[in-house]
Amino acid sequence: MLNTVLNTFIFVALPYVALAMLIVVTPYRYYSNRLTWSAYSTQFLERKTLYWGANPWHYGIIPIILAHTLGVVAPGAMKSLLGNVEVLVFLESVGLGLGLFALFGCVVLLLRRVNAPMLKRVTYPADWVLLILLTFQTLTGVYISLFMRWGSQWYLHTAVPYLYSLLYFNPKVEYLADFPLILKLHAAGAFLIVALLPFTKLVHLLYWPLDFLKDPPILYRWRSRPEGKVE
């Protein structure tokens, strides 16, 4: 009974709530208050740790997201590609490395916010929740990659058909109902991140910034105290 309730919540209620939040809240925020759309630049407040956090995070997580997306967009091609054992082992190994790289960057970014008092002033509760969720999501992904091998293969035969069933408003929970708890938590984390996305500064990733290419560069100047002046 408890397992059925958990499956219904994670695989039926949560994805549709997340999708509704994304569709309704995102355009409302975009047209009601554009000033909150972009992420604040914190490089001026702290830059050394940002370098070691942002680069590993972006270079690690973006290929992983693309790989997940390709499995949904082109499942046939991915099945043919992963049908080769050597390719499967190679891609699984690369995926694990990217996951560890992203996890390192995410942990650094989280600790950066914790240890820099000035950053806490521009970090809101939703941002803390999102950072913790991203860290948890990456950690569970690395765990799955380490201890439940060949996830890219069974992902195509379980998660992908389930995601398509969501689009047809006929969620096939049976594809994922017997998954271990860690996999269900990984799925729940993904839906929660999508639901929270419109409420955080990370929503700027949904904007295609082609217009920014036409903008002139912004020049920043530091205001320094004149030499010899005593206050």
Q: Which of 116, 115, 119, 117 is nearest to 127 (CA)?
A: 119
Contact between 161 and 91 (Cβ < 8 Å): no
To the question of whether residue 204 is assigned a binding role by annotation, the answer is yes
Q: Given its phi and psi angles, is residue 27 left (phi above 0), alpha (psi -120 to 50 degrees) or beta? A: alpha
To the question of whether residue 157 is assigned a binding role by annotation, the answer is no
Q: How far apart are the first and last CA of the chain?
A: 71
To the question of whether residue 58 is assigned a binding role by annotation, the answer is yes
Q: Which residues define the annotated binding site?
A: 58, 68, 186, 204
Q: Which residues are annotated as a binding site for heme b?
A: 58, 68, 186, 204
